[in-house]
Structure 1
Amino acid sequence: MPIESDHRASDSPYIARVWHGRSSGVESLTSVATSNWELVFWEFEGAMHAAVRGPETSASTVTAAGDSESFGITFAHGASMPHLPVPRLVDAELESPYADESVFVLRGEKWAIPGPDCAEDFVRGLVHAGVVTRDPLVDEVVRGGGAEVGSRSVQRRVAAATGLTQGAIRQIDRARHAAVLLREGVPSLEVVHRLGYYDQPHMARSLRRFVGRTATGLRRDAGEPLSLLYKIEDDERF
Structure 2
Amino acid sequence: MSSEYLERASRLPGAVVWTKAALRRGGATETGPVLPDGCMDLLWTEGRLLVAGPDTRAFRPGPGLHGPWAGVRFRPGAAPALLGVPAHELLDRRVELADLRPAAEVRRLTERLDAAPDPAAALESLALRLAADAPPEDALIRAVAASLRAGRSVAVTAATVGLGARQLHRRSLDAFGYGPKTLARILRMQRALALARTGVPLADTAARTGYADQAHLARDVRQLAGMPATALLRP
**1:41–1:70 contact (8 Å) kept in structure 2:** yes
Q: 1:168 aligns with which of 182, 203, 219?
A: 182
Residues 199 and 18 of structure 1: is their aligned pair in 2 closer, same or farther, counting only changes over 3 Å? same
TM-score (norm 2): 0.74
**1:83–1:107 contact (8 Å) kept in structure 2:** no
**1:60–1:212 contact (8 Å) kept in structure 2:** no
| 2:96 corresponding residue in structure 1 | 95
Residues 83 and 117 of structure 1: is their aligned pair in 2 closer, same or farther, counting only changes over 3 Å? closer
* Identity among equivalent pairs (%): 28
Residues 184 and 211 of structure 1: is their aligned pair in 2 closer, same or farther, counting only changes over 3 Å? farther
Shift of 1:64: 6.2
Where is the strand percentage greater, Structure 1 or Structure 2? 1
Give the match's secondary structure for 1:178. Answer: helix
Q: Show CA shifts across 1:130-161 (max 9, x none).
A: 4x763221111111163144443333222211
Residues 220 and 64 of structure 1: is their aligned pair in 2 closer, same or farther, counting only changes over 3 Å? farther
Residues 218 and 2 of structure 1: is their aligned pair in 2 closer, same or farther, counting only changes over 3 Å? closer
| 2:69 corresponding residue in structure 1 | 70
Query: Aligned partners of 1:135 and 1:200: how far apart in 2?
Result: 36
| 1:192 corresponding residue in structure 2 | 206
| RMSD (Å), alpha carbons | 3.0
Shift of 1:123: 2.4
Q: 1:153 aligns with which of 167, 178, 185?
A: 167
Shift of 1:125: 1.2
Where is the helix percentage greater, Structure 1 or Structure 2? 2
Q: Show CA shifts across 1:158-212 (max 9, x none).
A: 2211111111111112212322333332211111111111011100011112223
**2:44–2:123 contact (8 Å) kept in structure 1:** no
Aligned residues: 209
Query: Aligned partners of 1:64 and 1:194: how far apart in 2?
Result: 39
Give the match's secondary structure for 1:139. Answer: helix
1:36-47 equivalences in 2 (<5 Å): 36-43=39-46
Give the match's secondary structure for 1:20. Answer: strand
1:189-228 equivalences in 2 (<5 Å): 189-221=203-235
Shift of 1:70: 0.7
TM-score (norm 1): 0.74
| 1:227 corresponding residue in structure 2 | none
Letter in 2 for 1:126: L
Residues 107 and 36 of structure 1: is their aligned pair in 2 closer, same or farther, counting only changes over 3 Å? farther
| 2:153 corresponding residue in structure 1 | none
Residues 118 and 66 of structure 1: is their aligned pair in 2 closer, same or farther, counting only changes over 3 Å? closer
Stretches of structure 1 that go unaligned for 5 or more consecutive residues are 99-104, 222-238
Query: Aligned partners of 1:150 and 1:66: how far apart in 2?
Result: 41
